[in-house]
Amino acid sequence: MEERLLGTIYKDGDTIVDEGTESKEMYILQSGKVNVTMGGVDDETLLATLKEGDIFGMMGVIDKAPRSATVRAVGEARVLAIDHATFLRMVTRDPSLALRILHQMSQRVRNLDTELGITINNLKEVSEEFVWQRGRFKARAVA
């Protein structure tokens, strides 16, 4: 990563946020793209691809809990980190910033709700095709 006056430039594949780590910062993607993933190397799941203007890491600046996902640069990406104190000053000066962040968070929750619904329906369909017999799943007999 290369430090610049405004933001940090990350090269393709560089990790910006690591799942499980503690952080008190949020990030604004000034240019480029990032992938948001969850899980280990062997079972990593892509949650989202964010683009210029998107904000990520909002939960960390608000609740200071460990990161729920990993964020990596896709190609070159410039990212501005905003710490908790700076965030509070910015929101005090411009309350609409909080509304923009809430809008993005709300949109992501809606998208996750949709994905969860699809996944649950898929699991129901799969479970109807199998039956548990003698300690293992077997395909249901087709009538």
> pLDDT grade, residue 50 (50/70/90)?
very high
For residue 143, being part of any structural domain is answered with no
Average pLDDT over residues 35-55: 90
Among 54, 83, 112, where does a domain finish? 83
| Same domain membership, residue 99 and residue 51 | no
Q: Which of 13-22, 69-78, 124-133 has the lowest mean pLDDT?
A: 124-133
Give the model's pLDDT for residue 104.
87
Q: Judge if 28 and 4 occupy the same domain.
A: yes
Residues 73 and 110 in one domain: no
| 67 and 7 in a common domain | yes
Tell me: do 100 and 77 sit in the same domain.
Answer: no
Q: Which domain holds residue 115?
A: 93-124
Q: What is the largest CA-CA distance in the chain?
A: 69
For Cα atoms 127, 128, 129, give the angle at the middle one, nearest 5 degrees.
90
pLDDT given for residue 43 in this prediction: 86
Q: What letter does residue 66 receive in the DSSP assignment?
A: P
Cβ count near 136 (within 10 Å)? 7
Question: What percent of the chain stands above pLDDT 90?
Answer: 48
Distance separating alpha carbons of residues 139 and 68, to the nearest angstrom: 36
Q: Regarding predicted confidence, which is higher, 63 or 12?
A: 12
pTM: 0.75
